[in-house]
Structure 1
Amino acid sequence: MNAEPAPDAAYSVGDGDLARDAEAAVAVWRASLGQVEGRAAKFAWFYRDAPVGALLQVLRFGPGGEVVGTAGVGWRTMRVGARQLRAGLLADMAVLSGHRLLGPALQLQRAACERALQACDLVYGFPNQNAVPVVKRLGYRHVGDMVLLVCALRHAPYLQRMLPAPLALMAGAGLDLALRLRDGLRDLPGRTLEADWHDTPLPDAHPPLAHDDCIMRGERDAETLDWRFSRSPLAAFRFLYLRRRGEATPCAWFACQRDGDVLRIADFHVGAGLAPQRALARLSREARSAGCRALAIECCLPEPEMTALRRHGFRERQRRPIYARWNGDPQPFNGLRITVFDEDE
């Protein structure tokens, strides 16, 4: 006979102790989220080493208080126009398989959200399809989508899905040549952007941006970028800086992750005085030189930046929703600028 489900009263939610509950939380992640390697390192990086800390909520079961679920919140600084906001990023929602009941799961998510909203202006996250009804029930609103965009640099592998191999190779070579010529014309001699790769962010290359467009975006500085990318135990990132010849200050930068023969753009900024197409052309040249067959970026960007990516050849592959809940009435904003920087993995 199957055991009866435990009543909701057998569960409780409270603040996790980052020292006492670390091992139990990591065990829940390994059993529920997969990717066993690196979970302990992720806990130390995200909860203990973050520049502004993080909050951990744990779901406990029974009189012994066994940890059977977790929900984390990482603090982020965001800005809308002249307003600075404190945001909470939902992370590490996990419950052991024997305890995945609607009541305890809602209890855990509600507690994490309400606990975070005691200390911040809004909470946001990236729920999977199964979790969307739950976050809606908790008062979250759909505010945008993370869009995966891919730009082919070597076309033959893609054309072989539709054409015979010899024809795909010929057509791919022609397309590759045309795009190399296009990118070369955008980076003409005498106007060539100088490119430098670094393992860590340069300290003086990320000045505060002017926020006069009411786009909601995360604030970046060298310290936060170093923690988010250089010190991440989950992936290896490098920074590409572009400079105009003779200038010391970069006019654009890209945080990149090599994934096989794909170069993934995790974050980027192009200065106001530089055409995005020039920066993307140089990035493409660098990726080709490294042997990459494609560029990829997952982001939610204002329309001018999305248009620049599409004009360069980026094509949409899939979408993930972004949901947010405000502390009080929603603050008005004209759009979102969210990249991998604003996620936890």
Structure 2
Amino acid sequence: MNAMPTAPQYLVEAGLPARDRDTVLGLWRGNLGQDARMTAKYEWFYLRCPHGEPLMQLLLDVPGQAHVGTASAGRRRLEWRGRELRAGVLVDLAVLPQHRSLGPALMLQQGLIAAAGEALDVLYGFPNPKAAPVFKRLGYAQPAQLVRYARVLRHAGYLRERVPRWLAPAAGWLADRVVACRDAWTRLRSPHLRSAWADQADARIDAVWSGSPKGDDVIAIRDVGHLRWRFDESPLATTRYLLVKRAHDRALQAWFAVQRIDGTLHVRDFWSVDGTDGMAAMHVGELVHAARKAGCSAVSVEMCASDAQRRGWHALHFVERSRRPVFLRWSSPQDAAASAPLFLTSADEDE
């Protein structure tokens, strides 16, 4: 006698951001950050993205006939050798506590992979290192890492854990003066530049992007339209731009999109007329000068980049602090872009 087939415990269904807003927000509640923040993120990231609606998957508990999990891939535009690539950044995996096991999470990710096979050229993400075995099991490769570099500007707090506490203020003051003099001397010897703050991206950024070399890297398109959505319209953080210009004609040479948090200036994105050939040390020097002038205690930046791109940062004494894996899964593994080097920053995440 043949046994009756067992009904599936879960099914994965394609979601629609506009239709399934309340369902997804309900699944996020208590699982992904503050409710008000996540609601604001949904309106911006899911409903107003200029690159198209995110791919969304919903996990249905068949016996209970209720959705118990969700995962998405936000749309991004990448470029390789002048060819635009359709990309998706993995975001917002949430499963209700009573259904948290490897199976449901895998099913949601497999649903995204199936949807991306038709809609996208590549999926990428920055998962917790502990999740690496799961992503490799799903066919993702780990070709690179997102590395965080930092530069201390005010040393008293940094030295407090390394010298006797009574000595830290004086030693910090002395270190600040020495380092500031060294930076000033380097800046004096560099070509004459001027920098200014701006609260929004403007059309000059497009000229820097279109005129810069892109090399052989797979890179996110950094035009003004993307920056306005990614930073200026985001309800999650306040971003400002440091615009670096030549002194004699005020032509824009480089820009940095930054967020100040607890005294540290976090560089979320950047680009220059030198493109993938690297951010010049003199441009990084203007960033350091502006951060010190604004009273920041440190500057931090995350990037997945070539040696050439990191050279200007190293010249201004940025040192590695941490790193995270980057995982990619190409819809067509034979795509020539799949073997190209990557250029990514923390702006290429979801928030």
The residue aligned with 2:3 is none
Shift of 1:20: 3.0
- Say yes or no: does 1:322 pair with 2:326: yes
Per the alignment, residue 14 of structure 2 pairs with: 15
Within 5 A, what are the aligned runs for 1:1-345? 9-53=8-52, 54-62=54-62, 65-188=65-188, 191-207=191-207, 208-211=210-213, 213-272=215-274, 276-330=280-334, 331-332=336-337, 333-345=339-351
Q: Are the structure 2 counterparts of residues 94 and 217 from structure 1 closer, same or farther at C-alpha, using a change threshold of 3 Å?
A: same
Q: Residue 288 of structure 1: SS of its match in structure 2?
A: helix
> Is residue 13–residue 59 contact of structure 2 (8 Å, CA) maintained in 1?
yes
Q: Is the 8 A contact 1:194 1:244 kept in 2?
A: yes
- Aligned-pair CA distance for 1:158: 0.7
Q: Distance in 1 between matches of 2:84 and 2:204?
A: 22
Deviation per residue, 1:199-252 (Å, 9 max, x gap): 110123233254552111101111110100111111110011011113243101
Give the CA deviation at 1:78.
Answer: 1.0
SS of 2:296's partner is coil
Look up the equivalent residue of 1:251 and give its one-letter code. Q
2:291 counterpart SS class? helix
Q: Which amino acid aligns with 1:337?
A: F
Relative to structure 1, the CA distance from residue 185 to residue 40 in structure 2 (aligned partners, 3 Å threshold; closer, same or farther) is: same
- For 2:98, the aligned partner's letter is G
Q: Which residue of 2 aligns with 1:4?
A: none
Aligned residue for 2:188, secondary structure, equals coil
Distance of aligned partners of 1:114 and 1:190 in 2 relative to their CA distance in 1, 3 Å threshold: closer
How far apart are residue 271 of structure 1 and its match? 2.1
Please name the residue that 1:3 is paired with. none
TM-score by length of 2: 0.90
Change in Cα spacing, 1:242 to 1:102, as seen in structure 2 (3 Å) is: same
| Alpha-carbon distance in structure 2 between the residues aligned to 1:14 and 1:303 | 43
Q: Deviations over 1:152-186 (max 9, x none)?
A: 00112111101013433333223222221222223
Q: Which amino acid aligns with 1:340?
A: S
Partner SS for 1:31: coil
Show structure 2 runs of 5+ residues with no match: 1-5
SS at match of 1:84: strand
CA positional deviation for 1:275: 6.9
Shift in alpha-carbon separation, 1:63–1:221, aligned structure 2, 3 A: same
Offset of 1:68 from its aligned partner? Answer: 1.2
Residue type at the aligned position of 1:46: F
Cα distance, 1:16 vs. partner? Answer: 1.1
Cα distance in structure 2, aligned partners of 1:180 and 1:87: 42
Structure 1 residue runs of 5 or longer lacking an equivalent are 1-6
Q: How far apart are the structure 2 equivalents of 1:162 and 1:84?
A: 49
**For 1:305 and 1:170, how far apart are their aligned partners in 2?**
36
Q: Deviations over 1:90-143 (max 9, x none)?
A: 111111111112222211110112201211111111111232221111100002
Q: Deviations over 1:44-95 (max 9, x none)?
A: 1111100012221111213564221111111211122233211111111111
Distance 1:164 1:320, change over 3 A: same
Task: Give % identity.
Answer: 38
Matched position secondary structure for 1:328: coil
> Does the CA-based 8 Å contact 2:281-2:311 persist in structure 1?
no
Distance 1:293 1:305 in 2: 24
CA distance in 2, matches of 1:37, 1:72: 19
